[in-house]
A and B are shown apart, each in its own frame.
Chain A
């Protein structure tokens, strides 16, 4: 594997008494779409600003393209940023905004003009050069911010929650456009977001952050299927947590007694944090199924009573009370043709498999 484009070791950042970053170490690979995901206040934006050079780390060091960034100010770093509110200069036209960073780099006016036009075309804003920021929609402003940063051909493009200000439809459209753009230009993107769906759909790899440190760095699939602990599992998608008692190690895994579901042998790779100390069993809603009639089969079957029904059109989410489990368990069913929707109070047989149980610390 090639040399990482960003290598951070032991990055600390304190604001007064508050430790925003607690020794973050990670690597970002060349050309990947990388996301920093976490709840607000977890330090993801601070980490991005450390990379950009707006915040100086209290400790630790950072290499970008193999070059140490100690004392290198933001204007000398090979990174460019798309700000959360886009920060499109209101007193300049779109073209002047895009030209802003080029001015000091390219002396030839025609060449500059050509690059500005190319950048605007790349983000689909041909002919918008003479407009001012207040004449643009939120989505267009974001494109200007993108063009303005990409025209400088940065080693790494930093995006600080760029989609959070857009409405749902536009956000989904921009997600796919950003992904395409990233593939087209081949530049490494680092995206900060608090939206787990956004991080999963767009990224090659995601770093999940809590309280100033990275809890897990993995591909979206691994993140969803093999979360390292309870916090990550709860933050990415929906997860049912069920009490569990460890019975003992068996060849190839560990035997546990899951409340309400019974004894099961869990393979070692489904217990990423080990089985020492307090652990719970985690099972995703879509790993549980309602067995409507006798022809529906499952590896293991239990029974429960429907408590709540949330109907989403394509899916129905049921909260099911299962004997022996304190809290109702959430279960998701795809609404395929002819499939009934159950009502609260209905009894149902619930099917599940040992391969879908995770043991989490």
Chain B
């Protein structure tokens, strides 16, 4: 028995040894800095001097001051909208590639979906500003076609523009997991459903969609979590009413010289996003378990 234990732990030792460089790196450059940010969020800063007495002051400000609360809620709302919009945009495309494209051409289609994302991120967002702008492509075309007399102003420098631009940026990241989930569906299950009397719509709702749910969920989380921290899109196309929490965090760290408040805002945003994600995962698991049982 001791020999057994020795051997099992040798494999474990080899595995841990092999993973240790990567793990050490992540501990040093992710865990430790995050811990420091948490610590910092309990300190205070007054101009350039940092007071190291622990206090909840930053959190009180972050959670009660109307401006921060409004920004946080707006960020959550925009992220949620982007998530829903992106997943809805992505699903039919993933479905098309998985079910209507011949196997040999699937890689080509996936490649096609990702090509636009090899343009610079910043320039891509800037181009949306051009497209949606007052003299932009959309307005120019609409005026040119005589559909409108005056350029539309509600399509740039607001939350709609932010949602549209972010959805564009994240849609391939939503297509891929949904596509993978659809690919995993055993095609004979669909034939079985049809054989048992389901029409295409019922079959889709009763078999395809439930089986694709893990992919949809992954897509939603992959989009939702990072978008809350997006900085560039709100700055370029959001206008004053489209700014998000990341812009405020940056402001606190740089111009406003209040890093502890910035840290508190960052930690708050992270905690809220994690909480929502966990609830979301839990609900999904219950939903799946309910169906299974």
CB nearest to B10 among chain A residues:
A56
- Measured between beta carbons, the chain A residues less than 8 angstroms from B112 are none
Q: Chain B 32-72 against A: per-residue CB contact (8 Å), 1 yes, 0 no? A: 00000000000000000000000000000000000000000
B6 to A: closest C-beta gap in Å: 10
Interface, chain B (partner A; CB < 8 A) = 3-4, 7-8
In the complex, A16→B7 CA distance in Å?
A: 10
Question: When chains A and B are docked, how far (Å) is the Cα of A59 from the Cα of B4?
Answer: 8
- In the complex, whether A221 has a CB less than 8 A from a CB of chain B is no
Can you show 7 pairs from A to B with CB atoms below 8 A apart?
A14-B4, A16-B8, A56-B7, A58-B3, A58-B4, A58-B7, A59-B3
A residues 1-48 near B (Cβ < 8 Å) are 14, 16
Give the interface centre of A16, A56, A58, A59 by most chain B CB atoms within 10 Å: A58
Give Cα A14–Cα B3 distance, bound, in whole angstroms.
Answer: 11
Q: Quote the shortest CB–CB distance from A244 to chain B (angstroms).
A: 43
Chain A positions within 8 Å of B, measured between CB atoms, are 14, 16, 56, 58-59
Q: Nearest chain B CB to A80's CB is how many angstroms away?
A: 25
**For residue B6, which residue of chain A has the nearest CB?**
A58
Taken together as a complex, chains A and B put the C-alpha atoms of A59 and B2 apart, in Å, by 10
Distance in angstroms between the alpha carbons of A350 and B194 in the assembled complex? 53
Give bound CA distance, A59 to B8, whole Å: 13
Residues of A within 8 A of B3 (CB): 58-59
CB distance from B3 to the nearest CB of A (A): 6
Describe A's contact surface by its main secondary structure: loop
What is the predominant secondary structure among interface residues of chain B facing chain A? Answer: helix
CA distance A16 to B9 in the complex (A): 11
Could you tell me the distance between the alpha carbons of A101 and B4 in the complex, rounded to whole angstroms?
A: 32
Q: How far is the CA of A56 from the CA of B8 in the complex (A)?
A: 11
In chain A, what residue has the closest Cβ to B4?
A: A58
Determine the residue in chain B with the shortest Cβ distance to A14: B4
List the 7 closest A-B pairs by CB distance, nearest first.
A58-B4, A14-B4, A58-B3, A59-B3, A56-B7, A58-B7, A16-B8
Assembled-state Cα–Cα distance A39/B97 (Å): 43
Residues in chain B near residue A59, CB distance under 8 A: 3
What are the residues of chain A within 8 A of B8 when measuring CB–CB? 16
How far apart sit A24 and B8, CA to CA, in the bound complex (Å)?
21
Query: CA separation between A16 and B3, bound complex, in Å?
Result: 12
CB distance from A327 to the nearest CB of B (A): 36
Minimum C-beta distance from B10 to chain A (A): 9
| Residues of chain B lying within 8 A (CB to CB) of residue A16 | 8
How many angstroms between the C-alpha atoms of A16 and B5 in the bound complex? 9
Chain B residues whose C-beta falls within 8 Å of the C-beta of A56 in the assembled complex: 7
Nearest chain B CB to A78's CB is how many angstroms away? 24
| Residues of chain B contacted by A58 (CB below 8 angstroms) | 3-4, 7
- Given the complex of chains A and B, what is the CA–CA distance between A173 and B200 in angstroms? 51
CB distance from B251 to the nearest CB of A (A): 54
Bound form: Cα–Cα A59–B7 in Å: 11
Closest Cβ–Cβ distance, residue A16 to chain B (whole Å): 8
Q: Which residues on A sit within 8 Å (CB–CB) of B7?
A: 56, 58
Distance, CA A8 to CA B251, complexed state (A):
73
B8 and chain A: residue at smallest CB distance: A16
Whole-angstrom distance between the Cβ of B13 and the nearest chain A Cβ: 14
In the bound complex, how far is the Cα of B7 from the Cα of A58, in angstroms?
8
* B193 CB, nearest partner CB in chain A, Å: 33
Residue in chain B with minimal CB distance to A15: B8
With a CB–CB cut-off of 8 A, which chain A residues contact B4? 14, 58
B233 to chain A, nearest CB (A): 45
**Alpha-carbon distance between A53 and B8 when the two chains are bound, in angstroms:** 17
Q: Could you tell me the distance between the alpha carbons of A208 and B7 in the complex, rounded to whole angstroms?
A: 28
| Bound CA–CA A211/B7 (angstroms) | 22
A285 CA / B206 CA spacing, docked (Å): 53
Min CB–CB distance A50 → chain B (angstroms): 13
Min C-beta distance of A17 to chain B, whole Å: 10
Complexed CA–CA distance, A14 and B8 (Å): 10
Please, how many angstroms separate the alpha-carbon atoms of A125 and B259 in the complex?
73
Q: How far apart are the CA atoms of A114 and B7 in the complex, in Å?
A: 42
CB distance from B258 to the nearest CB of A (A): 54
Question: How distant is A128 from chain B, measured CB to nearest CB, in Å?
Answer: 30
* B82 smallest CB distance to A (angstroms): 44
A57 to chain B, nearest CB (A): 9
Nearest B residue to A16, CB-CB = B8
Give A28 Cβ to nearest chain B Cβ, in Å.
Answer: 25
Give the docked Cα–Cα distance between A212 and B52 (Å).
65
CB-nearest residue of chain B to A58:
B4
- Return A14 CB to nearest CB of chain B, in Å: 6
CB distance from B203 to the nearest CB of A (A): 37
* Minimum distance in angstroms from B259 CB to a CB of chain A: 50
Q: Nearest-CB distance from A53 to chain B (Å)?
A: 14
Q: How far is the CA of A58 from the CA of B8 in the complex (A)?
A: 10
Nearest-neighbour CB distance to chain B for A22, whole angstroms, equals: 14
B5 to chain A, nearest CB (A): 10
Q: Give chain A nearest CB distance to B168 CB in angstroms.
A: 41
- Minimum Cβ distance to chain A for residue B12 (Å): 12
